[in-house]
Homo-oligomer: A and B are copies of this chain.
Amino acid sequence: MPAEAVFDFKAYLAEKRAMVDAGLEACFPEPQGFTFDLITAMRYSLFAGGKRLRPILCIAGAEAVGGVGSDVLPVACALEMIHTYSLIHDDLPMMDDDDLRRGKPTNHKVFGEPIALLAGDGLLTEAFSFMTSQALSERVPPQTLLQAIRLIAWAAGHEGMVGGQAVDIQWEGKAADLEVVRFMHTHKTGAMITASVSSGAILAGANEFQLKAITSYGEKIGLAFQISDDILDIEGDSETMGKRVGADEEKGKMTYPAVLGLDPSKRIQGELVQGAIDELREFDRRAEPLRRIARYIIERKK
């Protein structure tokens, strides 16, 4: 785009979303044979109308340092698979016991608990298949690819998302302080959001300075995103969001608004988003999508 053009953020999101959907569709198997139900269940949640925030962050992270979005597409798609698996497992009766997700019945409501469990397991595993695909390992230096996968595995595992979920479950119904809630948020949501944008930058050959700035950006919007989730669970419209609101309070979930109150939470969220944008001050207009994504996190309604 010419420097003076107005950046059309909506069109950018739509374009990248279509790219991710096409990438997933092209590589994801059609249900057939004995595993028909399993693959149908995997596809059901994967194509249930997600925002594709994590893959778009990966692509935007690559673009911000001069990379080409399509080069990182398999990793971007893998990030969405990991996110989807975490939602399927999180919705299970033994966990959050949710019936509705993105306006549709949750995976186990449609396919039963065993297939839902295995669909989650299958998506997590398939993510690593995608990331180690031969096509990708011929396009990106293999050491760089291994570095990106290592970061994503770390962020998805017990030191990241899975760790955050464990703490979330264990503290349900208990009075938690800000330290616990912060741990939950930065791990359950923040780690994978940070890894999404950072892995894109790594794959596109970011230098040390760029990676540091983009990682800080990711940490800030990651926390802001989870706080905005907490706020939407109070102020959001259940029809727009496609899921029940008010569930956090019912379940005794510890959230920023529960611990700090609504207004201080909004203030912190605003500071985090501004801080994230500030991290990108040395970047040129190719980081504009990242700046807009940061603002979008506060403005979103679902």
Contacts and interface: CB of A to CB of B under 8 A. Distances in A.
Given A124-B124, A150-B129, A157-B122, A38 B143 contact: no
Contacts of A129: 150, 153-154, 157
B89 A117 contact: yes
Number of copies: 2
A111 to B, nearest CB: 10
B126 A169 contact: no
Nearest to A34: B167
Specify the main secondary structure of chain A where it touches its partner.
helix
Contacts of A270: none
Contacts of A6: none
A42 interface: yes
B124 A121 contact: yes
A121 B123 CA distance: 11
Contact of A167 (B35, B117, B134, B153): B35
A272 interface: no
Interface string A125-165: 11011001110010000110111011001101111001101
Nearest to A145: B146
Contact of A150 (B38, B122, B134, B147): B134
A175 interface: no
B114 A158 contact: no
A114 to B, nearest CB: 5
A38 B39 CA distance: 29
A68 B156 CA distance: 31
B121 A89 contact: yes
Interface centre among A114, A133, A159 (most CB of B within 10 A): A114
A132 B149 contact: yes
A26 interface: no
A115 interface: yes
A262 interface: no
A183 B33 CA distance: 10
A117 B146 contact: no
A113 interface: yes
A117 B145 contact: no
B113 A158 contact: no
A167 B163 CA distance: 30
A230 B151 CA distance: 40
Interface string A38-54: 11001000000000000
A5 interface: no
Interface in A85-137: 85, 89, 92, 94-95, 113-115, 117-118, 120-122, 124-126, 128-129, 132-134, 137
A170 B167 CA distance: 33
19 contacts: A34-B180, A37-B166, A38-B158, A38-B166, A89-B118, A95-B114, A115-B166, A115-B169, A118-B165, A121-B162, A122-B157, A122-B162, A122-B166, A124-B125, A126-B157, A132-B146, A137-B143, A137-B146, A145-B146
